[in-house]
Amino acid sequence: MIEFKSTRELDYMRLQGTKIISLEHYEFEDLELWYPIYRLREEGAIVHLAGEEAGKEYIGEYGVPAQSEYAYGDVKADNFDAILVPGGWAPDKIRRFPNVISLIQKMNASEKVIGQICHAGWVK
């Protein structure tokens, strides 16, 4: 008997064990932060959040909170496989931190995935 599997079953947890860091600051675009995080976690990725300060709660444009686990300066490119930068007004603030720019450049030099949504292209 032939057993057929759905495409979803074959692709389940494609990112198992992948470590991703997502950057946040005040006025991030709520859906541009949380939707990718939920989808990445559904696929098995381990997603951490970093902000200006570790343990700080940042509020998005529409009032959705996000708590940072790391401070920008504590994030090392070697510890992550990819980085996510959401849009909104947060990138205008995030791009002012030299350690964030250095992190993006190191991840780029290592040919790691850099996900930037909307205004996040300012962070380079």
Closest CA to 92 of 29, 4, 49: 29
Residue 23 · residue 100 · CB < 8 Å: yes
Q: What Å distances lie between residue 47 and 2, 99, 114, CA to CA?
A: 37, 20, 14
Q: List the catalytic residues.
A: 118-119
Query: Which helix (DSSP H) or strand (DSSP E) does residue 93 occupy?
Result: helix 90-94
Residue 83 · residue 112 · CB < 8 Å: yes
